[in-house]
Amino acid sequence: MQILDRNFFRILSSINFKKIGVILATCLTIFTSNSSLTEVNLSLPIIAREFQTDMSVMPWVISIYIIVAGMFMIIGGKLGDYIGTKRVFIFSLLLWLISLIMAGCSNSILILIIARIIEGVAFALSLPISIVVISKTFSEKQLGLAVSINITVMGLAQAIGPTLGGYLLQYFGWRWIFFINVPFILFAIIFSTLCIKPDILKHRKPILDYFGAIILAISLCFIMIFLDIIQKNSSNFQLISICLFILFFTFGILYYVEKKASNPIIDFKLLFNKDFFIINLLRMLFQFIYFSVLFILPIYLLDILNYSPVKSGYFLLSMTIPFACLSIIIGKISDKIGEKLFVTLSFLIAAIAFYLSINLNENPSYIMIIMPLLLLGISSAFMFNSSTSMALKIASPEKKGAASGIFFTNTLIGGAIGVAVTSLALQLLKHNFYSTHTNLNLPYENTPTNSQVFLYAFSGLMWMFLAISIFGFFISLFNYRHKIITYLNLKKDFS
């Protein structure tokens, strides 16, 4: 232990002011992006009431941010290689600053969505570049400490985000969800300007596949347009069929263009690698249910249970704290026993959480709310750490950047689809409940209340999430069964 302490402080003492500035810049950026994730979700019902907007529109506040980030995530790293990581990182922070001020001052849902588009671009550029900045600033011996500090900040941000968001919503209003992050980004810009080393760029030809990037952006836009059309025209089978054909046709063009490109935006050979494809699929399934929960849960806590924003934030802590506490521990354990067991267990634990949530009502006990959220927090810690490590280990060293871009883009797409599909399913289930009871010609006093209609739809969504979790569990178990059996046999022999 004394040796460990001496090594730790020796590494710490070798970190100079500029390196501390780089850590502060990246940590402030990571804190802002991760804390705002839960804060914005918590504020959606309140924003909808202020702008007198139907809740079916509110998923766009989340989805547009995710899908735009997905568009630019893949090209973010390559853009840094071309014009310099310091320039791109500072530019992303300036965009972030503009988006926060614009969102906080917005007077309509349209302005807010435009601000979220800009924020999505900023997030997409800053995330891959921040990792590159850290790797260029710190030596191999210092790199582990620098990365672990950033991981800890990410977990801390997600842990305190719900409580901080609830406090801001209750005492200052939803606009301060955005305004409070302005000083953090300002300090990040100052530290980045003073402390990040400028890149020495050699004269080179552009390395970006611009045409491929445009086709990718169009393809991802079509995903959101398709989901929006389904939501508004769920009974128009002909229109949905046409949109589905256009969607597949666009991705077909993307595949053809990228196969011919000398330096493609998407490496389809890597994407279709069996192990890489499976872990991307599993992570997308998990992102689907994770972002859907972040969307639907604040509506239940604020509008059905009539909890205050602060109280709602405290309940969300039961999901984010386990994630923050377990993240680094899971990373260390998975290095020894492998990540596949944790990926498989994440779906099993999530399935139990959703099963426990099916019968939530208007007067639940605290334990009925906390227990499923606690399990979801544990399953998230298992999935996020293990799946990311697996995706990067599958790729060869020269393709880790491409693998990271593809992987994180797919996670964002999974989340965006999850929010859109959940919003659609919520509307369909509520409509089905209303239609059923209207046909019964019940007396006025027996007409179902809004809370009863929502709880019926909420229960249906929990069944859907349960089915997806079970599906993910069996896909994971089927593909990783040999590794899991080997581990269990070794543990049995050791015992």
Spatial separation of the C-alpha atoms in residues 300 and 456, rounded to whole Å: 12
First to last CA, the chain: 27
Task: Give pTM, 2 decimals.
Answer: 0.75
Class of domain 268-495: mainly alpha
| Angle 158-92-202 from CA coordinates, rounded to 5° | 130
Q: Give pLDDT, residue 6.
A: 53
The DSSP 8-state label assigned to residue 207 in this structure reads -
Residues 6+ apart with CB under 8 A from 346: 286, 379, 380, 382, 383, 386
For the chain (length 495 residues), average pLDDT per consecutive 10? 48 63 85 77 82 76 77 72 78 92 90 90 82 71 63 72 79 88 91 80 59 76 70 66 79 82 76 88 93 86 83 80 74 69 91 94 90 92 80 70 75 81 82 68 62 87 95 90 64 52
- Tell me the chain's radius of gyration from C-alpha atoms: 23
Spatial separation of the C-alpha atoms in residues 388 and 161, rounded to whole Å: 22
DSSP assignment of 366-415 equals HHHHHHHHHHHHHHHHHHHHHHHHHHHHHS-GGGHHHHHHHHHHHHHHHH
Q: Half-sphere exposure (CA, 13 Å, Cβ side) for 15? A: 24
Spatial separation of the C-alpha atoms in residues 466 and 456, rounded to whole Å: 16
> Would you tell me how many other CB atoms lie within 10 Å of the CB of residue 49?
13
Superfamily of domain 14-202: MFS general substrate transporter like domains (1.20.1250.20)
Spatial separation of the C-alpha atoms in residues 420 and 471, rounded to whole Å: 20
Of the candidates 292, 466, 288, the residue with the CA atom closest to the CA atom of residue 383: 288
List pLDDT tens digits, range 81-119.
667 778 888 998 999 999 999 998 998 888 988 998 899
The DSSP 8-state label assigned to residue 303 in this structure reads I
In 3-state terms, what secondary structure has residue 265? coil
Q: Give pLDDT, residue 141.
A: 62
Q: Half-sphere exposure (CA, 13 Å, Cβ side) for 426? A: 25
Q: Give pLDDT, residue 57.
A: 75
Q: Give pLDDT, residue 334.
A: 65
Q: Give pLDDT, residue 11.
A: 46
